[in-house]
Each structure stands twice: as structure tokens, then as C-alpha cells.
Homo-oligomer: A and B are copies of this chain.
């Protein structure tokens, strides 16, 4: 294989070259050791079967390439005095990043028992992919990491998220050619159209082509170089190619490529920052082609391994049982010449450490990878100044998200200098009625602009791209490096990032158990344009199931809020923006909605998370109510209040209680979720034996799944979305899903003992109204006047 780089080799001295190679060999040695060894880490004895782990787990294939990149990043960080962070996309190569962290001393600093000596080396090896030890991937436990290497696709968007508003940071990002086939990764290349060379740092993608996935060649590795080059230029990058399998030649080429890339980056940033150049930059990308499992066994059992997919995981699989494999492993380990790399006590030699940067410049020590250390409190307004005035319930109407937009404008404005707050969304910020924020910041955009464009801004902090994946990745990277943000999304399409949020929640769950990780700002979703208000988009845009998905995850990290009106939305937003280490899901409408609570009432109600709305019911403080009407969500709340009003009119002697739930996890037992209510509190709200008709925003069985342990559960009847979606009016939607006020009244009559006969006429009247609705809407395409003009008369 040839060495090929457009750049003249950097003038590495022989001494430097040897030192780089020593570092790389040491990292390779430590990588192999982690996969195989339980004992005898320095090979002081001949290798015996009992030195080898009983279960061989881990990924060798990508490790030597990652070690090469780490070695060469060390060099430029040290020589150029750069602050850097690296996102390791091929995170299966955990052994490599762990090896480097151990070498640079950050591992022992974080985990003192894994010291930088023989005993620590043995522990490093033993713990790897071992029960009770550390995962085989780059993970939250790995110093310097903000990116779990399990599910592939998110490295580059994470890297951009880390770079935004970090002008002095270099974010390197290694992208494996497997990951490069995924959709989220493919989309995220265009992030460079959103990177501001003035206020943001630099992202240096390093596309590492080692040619194979688990069992197949990769697409990008099998393109002619000219085609790959065109692709990367089409993505807006200036490619620098490094290809080879001779270590010394590759070291020279890689050092030259790194220097070239960093000089190009410096030039771009200088011209933007000092000369005010506004043209979109073509940032460098390094394409590194080296063999999969490079320096590992060339052949095993007569089959080629190095440079093939067979090097993906554990190249020698039977070391404990097959003496030939054992011999090959020993030879492989010795090929790195460990005696040159480590002294008798297992300390790395001075030559090995020559390229390693100092202090916080070490990739494992950068505070940006432990972002909570850098987090500042977000400036939030006095809510009263954004609250809508509510003298009595249901007398006024606002669009909740529009008012929230005003409040977010304040946050955006107050962070104008600090630049630590961003809003992301897939082209929906204005559609979701948050456009007030443009008063404080435009939308990030580095590509061409035309006179007709509005609110595009080179330095903007509202981020819009029609890729939920990219939005999510950007925001995760931004939060993981200690800043704040909000993702506003159509409710149905947030499922696009189901798997991404899974991984983020896993990350939070794990980091919460690590003492050295500082809490980071929460990932906040505002889900609007929701299931009940898809008047023209119809069925394809109707899905309230993200909440179900989230509530399956680690209770310590997930929160779900359904504010029923404008002031409750403000209160919830204030709460989630202050919080740390959660994924908060806020579901709220953008359409005009009655105001039910004053700001003071809203705060108190949200603090409780669920409560009785006395003013809406007909209890007199005496005996238990005849029926409880529960509700969660803006549309269900309105239907419940309308039902309460009908009951008051038609069945005045019925005692009705209305309970509104904002914080859905409150319905869970307290043992199941930190917000879960004690049984006594649940019983005080919902009673133990009164019929409860509960109108819920989403799939009704979720409420059963939350409340099944409660004493009153047998009396709980839930209405919600039954997957009957279509293009129609808002009220027709609730009728079709049996969530409408008339149906709720019928439910009460059907379930309160003794009402069936006494209230038969009322029931018939409700039924008739529903039938009348069906006729009317077919004829007029609008809702019944009595529904369209409905107001609360309480």
C-alpha cells in the first residue's frame, strides 16, 4: 500500500518520529492486553493459559487506527498549545481510548486504583469487558468522553454540538466507515453550514477507512478515491488523504496531514475573526486509510485476518485452549517491544510520554468532556413578567407556546454575550410559534443568503435543519459540554430520535453514578403541534407515544410534563430549564387555549404536579365525590371541564371532582419513580373506590401502566388516543377517539352506581349530540356551533 498525502511530510525529526511510534506501540500493546490478559501484564513470564481471560470480548479491529489518531492529536495539541476534545465515533474501540487515557495519566487521576504502574496495568486489563468492570466501548466511565460508542451515527453531530460557542476549542471527530453508512451521520456532514468561524470552535472530521464492518466491506472504502473526494467536497469539506500500512510512513503522512488541517483551520478562523471574511469556509477533513486490525495477526488458522473483517473483534479466539493461538498472542504482544515502552515497574518510558500534552490539555482531562464543570446557571426571568393575567378560569385565551416564545426571547437575549443557550428544531421554530426568539437571535446559517430571507444570521443561536437526528445530536453535544438548550419538535416526529434519546438517557443514568462527573443541563423537549391538532396533516402526523417510550427508561433521569394552559407551561419551562441531568418531555399546544390558572396558581399546581381543581368541581367539602374526572394534557383538560359543566347543568346533585395532572410520573408509586406519589396522596386525590374517568392526552393504557398498583385502579377508566387519526377538525378528533365531553358524561353515567336509570335521558341527549356532530361536520366541515363557541361558565 502506498503512502499518499497531498502535503509535503512535516519535518519530523527522527527522534520525534520514534517517540510517536513508541507511544502508538504502547497504546496498541495496552489495547491487546485489555482484550486478552488477566495477569502477567508486562510479560515478565512466558504467557500461560491462566494469564488469559476466560471470556474474550472486545473489538481489536478499529483500535490501532484510534491509537494512531490519539497519538497524533497528542502531538499537535502539545506542539500547538491547543485545547481539544475528541469524539471517538468507532467507540467499539474502547481499548484504544482507555489505553491512551491510562498512558496520559488521566485514568489514574480519575480511578486511583488503576495506577500508571504494573499493578494498575493489570487492573486496567482485568476490568475491561469483565463483569463489574468497564464496558468494552468508549462510555461515560471513560475520561474525556462525551460519546458512547454503542449505537452508531451520532459522532459528528455531537462534535458540532461541542464546538458551538466554544471558539477556542478544537473538536476532532473520528468517523468509522461503518458509522458513515448510517443516516444520522450522513446528514450531519452538512453541519458545517451552521458552524460560525467567529463564535464557534473548529470541528476536524477524521474519516477512518479501515475497509470493513462486522462482516462486510464498507461502502465508502470501496469507492474510487476520486468519488470519495467528490463526496467530501460536495459536503463542503477540503479533504486531506492519508493512506498506508507502513507505520513510519503513515506517521510522517499523518503528522503532515494534522499540521495541514490545523493550519487551514487557523487560517479560516483568523480570516473570519480578524478580517471579517463572511464567505462560507471549506473546513478540512482527513481521510485516513489503514488496515483493519493493523499490526495484529496477519493470519489465523490459515485465514487472512489483518486488513479484513475477521479482525473486527477478537482475532485469536481460542487462546486458552489452542497452544498455537497462545503462541501467536505472545508473539503479537512482543511485536510492540514492551520492554522499550515500560520499565520494570510498568511505568511508561519518557519516550512514550514525549508527545503527551500537560494538565487539562490531555484529551482525557479536558473539562469540556465533563461539561457540568463549566455550566453556569441560566438567566431566567421573573415569570410574573411573562405570565398572562387570569382573573378567573376560562375567561381568556392564549397560544401557550407563543407566550413561551416571549420568555425564551428573554433567555436568548440575556445569553447574548455568554452564548450558552441554543434552541434547535427541524424547521419548526416559527411553526411552533416560538418566533419571538428571533428578536434576540437569528437562525444560524453560513450558506448563501438572498434578500427575501428572514432571520438568518451568521452568529445565530437558533438552529434549524430538517433533520431531527442532527438537531438532537447538536443539542446533546452542546449539553454534554455544559451548555443549555431546548428542542422544539412536532410530537409525532420526535419518534425519529427514539433511539438517540435512549442512548442519552443511558449516558445520564451512568454518569449520575460516577462521582467525578458533574451534572449537566437537562435535555428539554417541547413537543407541540400535537396529536389533537393536526387539522390538515392528518394521520401521518399523529402519534403521542414518545411519552410511553420515555417512561420505560431509567426513572431517575426522565420527567414528563403536560401543562394544560399558558401559565402552567411557563412554570414548567422555568423548572426544566433550571434542572440538571434529566430528559424532560413537555407536551404543550400551540393553538389558542383557555387560560385556567393564574401564575401563582400555576406555580403551586406545577409544584404539586397533580391536584384538585376545586373551582371546576362541585364538592362541598363533605363526603367523597360521586365521580372524579381526571385529566392530563391541554385538550383533555378542556374536554373534562366541558364535561364537568354539562354534569353541573344536567345532573346538579352529582358531586364531581376534577383532578388535573401536570407531572405524569406522579401517578407512579413512589418506589418506582422519584416523583411518584405515596398511596395516601394518590388516594386523597383519586379516592380508593370512586369511579375515576380520566381523559389523557396519549394512549390510554399508559395511565393504567402507571396506576395499576393503586387501590382505586379497578375503578379507573381512561380515555385517550386510540390510534384513530385522520384529517379533520380538532373536535371531530376527540369524538372519533371517544375523548369528547359528551362521551365523558356518558362514561360518568355508565359508571357511577345508580345513575344509569336516573340519568338515561341525559345520556340519550349526549348520544344525540354526538350524532348531530357527525352530520354537521360532514355537511359543513366545521364543528358544531355549541362546541366552537363553548366557554367555561364556572
B-binding residues in A (CB < 8 A):
53-55, 57-58, 129-137, 139, 148-153, 178-179, 181-190, 193, 213-219, 222-224, 227-236, 304, 307-308, 427-431, 443, 445, 447-450, 452-453, 456, 464-470, 492-493, 495-496, 498-499, 502-503, 506, 509-510, 535-541, 543, 545, 548-549, 552-554, 699, 701-702, 704-705, 708, 713, 723, 725-729, 732, 777-778, 780-782
Contacts and interface: CB of A to CB of B under 8 A. Distances in A.
A480 to B, nearest CB: 15
Contacts of A235: 231, 234
A189 B543 CA distance: 28
A355 to B, nearest CB: 30
A185 B466 CA distance: 11
A540 B705 contact: no
Given A222-B447, A506-B539, A215 B492 contact: no
Contact of A464 (B182, B216, B726): B216
A137 B222 contact: no
B183 A469 contact: yes
A151 B186 contact: no
B701 A222 contact: no
A218 B449 CA distance: 11
Given A427-B214, A428-B214, A137 B538 contact: yes
A223 B545 contact: no
A223 B235 CA distance: 9
B307 A452 contact: yes
A136 B190 contact: no
B130 A781 contact: yes
Nearest to A133: B727
Contacts of A728: 131-132
Contacts of A708: 701, 704-705, 708, 713
A453 B213 CA distance: 12
A653 B184 CA distance: 58
Contact of A427 (B136, B216, B304, B554): B216
Nearest to A150: B540
Contacts of A465: 181, 219
Contacts of A456: 216-217
Nearest to A497: B499
Contact of A304 (B228, B452, B492): B452
Nearest to A192: B219
Contacts of A452: 304, 307-308
26 contacts: A53-B781, A129-B536, A129-B538, A131-B728, A132-B777, A136-B538, A148-B540, A153-B183, A181-B190, A182-B187, A183-B187, A185-B187, A214-B428, A216-B456, A217-B448, A219-B447, A227-B236, A230-B234, A231-B234, A308-B452, A496-B498, A496-B499, A498-B498, A548-B549, A552-B699, A704-B705
The list of the 6 closest CB pairs from A to B, nearest first, reads A150-B540, A231-B234, A183-B183, A57-B536, A186-B186, A183-B187
Given A183-B184, A499-B495, A218 B778 contact: no
Contacts of A453: 217
A367 to B, nearest CB: 24
A88 to B, nearest CB: 13
A22 to B, nearest CB: 30
A178 B187 CA distance: 12
Contacts of A231: 230-231, 233-235
B186 A183 contact: yes
Contact of A540 (B55, B151, B496, B498): B151
A541 B59 CA distance: 15
A738 to B, nearest CB: 13
B537 A136 contact: yes
A170 B549 CA distance: 39
A447 B727 contact: no
Nearest to A428: B214
A630 to B, nearest CB: 16
Contact of A134 (B135, B137, B510, B727): B727
A130 to B, nearest CB: 5
A723 B230 contact: no
A41 B432 CA distance: 34
A751 B136 CA distance: 39
Contacts of A151: 492-493, 496, 540-541
A127 B552 CA distance: 40
Contacts of A430: 214-215
A219 B467 CA distance: 11
A461 to B, nearest CB: 15
